[in-house]
Amino acid sequence: MICCKECIDLLHDYLEGSLAQETRDALDEHFRECPPCIAFLNTYKSTSRLCRETLHQIEIPDEVRHTLQNFLKEHKIQQEGM
């Protein structure tokens, strides 16, 4: 199984389509069970163009942190509710 760190390491190749089918499947499987990584993927996709234009200022945008924090908060509330 792939962990979140591997997932993020492979993200660039995943989006470029240069991964082996087996690795792609493993990533898809991880995304299905790991919404924070989906949030990261979506943010990565929407900010990659921005990053290319501002190569000297690469850092995690507040938006990403916010999205993840919100998700974790909701997830925790759901778990407690159940």
Can residue 72 be called a binding residue for Zn ion (CB under 5 A)? no
Residue 30 C-beta: closest distance to Zn ion, Å: 6
Residue 28 C-beta: closest distance to Zn ion, Å: 12
Can residue 8 be called a binding residue for Zn ion (CB under 5 A)? no
Structure tokens at 32: 């299905």
> How far does Cα 56 stand from its chain's mean position?
22
For Zn ion, the binding residue among 10, 19, 26, 34 (CB under 5 A) is: 34
| Residue carrying the six token digits 């199984």 | 1
- 70 to 59, 66, 67, 75: CA distances (angstroms): 19, 6, 5, 8
Residues that bind Zn ion (CB under 5 A): 4, 7, 34, 37
